[in-house]
Amino acid sequence: MNDQELYSRLQELRQKINYHNFRYHVLDDPEISDAEFDQLLVALREIENEHPEWITPDSPTQRAGAPPVEKFTKIAHPAPILSLGNAFNITEVKAWYERIARLDERVRQVDFVVEPKIDGLTVVLHYRQGVFVQGATRGDGEIGEDITHNLRTIRALPLRIPVNPQGPAAPAYFVVRGEAFIPIAEFEKLNRRLAEAGERTYQNPRNTAAGSLRQLDPALTASRPLTLLVYQIVAADGDIPTTQIATRQLLKDLGFPVPAATYCQSIDEVIQVCIEGEKKRDTYPYEIDGLVIKINDLILANELGSVGKDPRGALAFKFAAQEVTTRLLDIGVNVGRTGVLTPYAILDPVEIGGVIVRQATLHNFDFIEEKDIRIGDRVLVKRAGDVIPYVIGPIPELRDGSQIPYQPPSTCPACNQPVEHLEGEVAWYCVNSACPAQLIRNLEHFVSRGAMDIVGLGIKIVIQLVEAGLVKDVADLYALDQESLLKLEGFATKKAENIIDAIEASRQRPLASLITGLGIHGVGEVLAQDLTRHFRSLDELARATQSDLENIEGVGPNIARSIVDWFQNPANQKVLQKLRTFGVWPQAQVEEKPLQNQSLAGLTFVVTGTLAGLTRDEAREFIQALGGKVSSSVSSKTDYLVVGENPGSKFDRAQELGVKIIDEAGLRELAQK
């Protein structure tokens, strides 16, 4: 393929990627699978790697490709980015309408558009010749901060308009306003991932979105599930629509995501929508704190002018607050299936949004300490939709001296074994492998393919075994017999035989699989393999000191301490003794395989995030096949961090240590040297 044909292919790929991005992130109606989309992106990256001079700012590959900045520069907006006046009840909505009707009688003949008031961060987006060139925060309404590179990471933001080549032509200069936010479901997923990883969770979607967009490193922004909705044209060359309905249609035709809206022919209809809207606030996929009432006639709305920074032609109808105060009676602790201890507030019952709330989340123990939350405090509690109520913080000025500072537990409330809190981590853990609160999860992990690979022992059967009292720790699996299984619902002879055969077969699994299955905090499949190169049995590993372990690549102080503590735990020692008794005590057999191609020899890699063309296992095999080493954690000995979509805390650690950061294309390029 000559350069002309290759350039045509590049333009075709960009157009396809932008179109499918629009289908997925704006219309929520994808036409191709994620794998097919990733293949398009890989093909585009390969061409751009071959011809870096063809890379342009609007290329889909440039969404998270900018280096960190030292600070945000200031940008003057082309027109004032006004705020809104508020109405907190229907009487105030009627009063607003009467005020503007007295200013101009034409108001009594107008129609309206009512849109949700999204609780996010206002952004201003600039396009020239259809290409996104600059983006800013609202700031003070006159001057905002340049967050262009961060905004590029938002998949719903079109880098070129129109997205559909058959759409209307974009004005040569076009500036729009919208709201960036994190959907509620994505926010909950993010917090679950962070909690399971023992990292700090976030309090609410709005602050998380704002903080993510004001990161100095766009790669960190890219790891957050941000999206946006656009609802206003701020400035443009040429004619622009004169009604809000037409404005919304033009924005939609150009490829922008726009918020839902209700058309109202009169103020009476507006009032009815406001009344019904408060009842429906929890049906939105994002947090809203009200509705925005807009006069559809934008020329008239503009002629009505402003009061300060509030335009007269629009009004925010604010919903009743979903925050209340109540007394914190006590702090309880839940033990999750991963062993993480999570505090929760026991409250003096209080009604929030029509629901009686008796308990609320406190996020983590660091949050309690940072906010100085004390038992007996008057606390501010928020509930939004189906989201679990959470404590925002205490009201210190209401203290009378009877409040008691809180101390995290030193033992697990489920099994009374000592808990572990590693330096630099948010989470507190119960490391007892037989802890009742995490037994099902431990068993599920132990039998998984990456561990002991006991085929047929799915989560439903694991739950049956635990509920029947047949299994109280992972070692008990090897005491099961066909007779005991046949007593369980759904078991026939053949099924019981298959399970017993699979358990017997697992006795032949290598040492690394058993180490993985033990569920030691911080020890995954990769590190388990590394440990077997230094320790030939569980006896040797159990005798290892903190210093011995820290000398291994990929093992830092926290993981070393976690391993030592696990083996010193009396309950875990009993499990190990039972495994030995049942004959599940493999020895390491290190087999050195000759390397045919050693282009990555001597280099240590860590992989984080979701790569476009490789799974995590495939990436590890790819690196190892070329002589490289893959570690599970970033350290000063790491040569490269390979980053995909949604990287975790390893990205931050790599930056702190000055480790080179590359993507999948960079890895492939390195492998070819």
Active-site residue list: 117
What would the two tokens of residue 448 be? Answer: 């998984």
Torsion of CA 445, 451, 652, 192, to 10 degrees: -10
8 A C-beta contact, residue 205 and residue 247:
no
Distance, in Å, from the CA atom of 360 to the CA atom of 381, rounded to the nearest integer, reads: 8
Q: Classify the phi-psi angles of 177: left when phi > 0, otherwise alpha if psi is within -120 to 50, otherwise beta.
A: beta
CA angle 493, 494, 497 (to 5 degrees): 85
Distance, in Å, from the CA atom of 529 to the CA atom of 56, rounded to the nearest integer, reads: 43
Residue type (1 letter), 646: N
What would the two tokens of residue 450 be? Answer: 């990456």
**Beta strands 604-608; 640-643: pairing state:** parallel
Strands (E), 119-219: 121-128, 131-137, 143-145, 173-181
Bridge partners (DSSP) of residue 351 are 356
Q: Is 148 helix (H, G, I), strand (E, B) or coil?
A: helix
Distance, in Å, from the CA atom of 496 to the CA atom of 487, rounded to the nearest integer, reads: 10
Distance, in Å, from the CA atom of 317 to the CA atom of 550, rounded to the nearest integer, reads: 59
Distance, in Å, from the CA atom of 273 to the CA atom of 280, rounded to the nearest integer, reads: 10
Locus of tokens 């945000």: 72
8 A C-beta contact, residue 265 and residue 245:
no
Distance, in Å, from the CA atom of 326 to the CA atom of 287, rounded to the nearest integer, reads: 23
What would the two tokens of residue 659 be? Answer: 């480790």
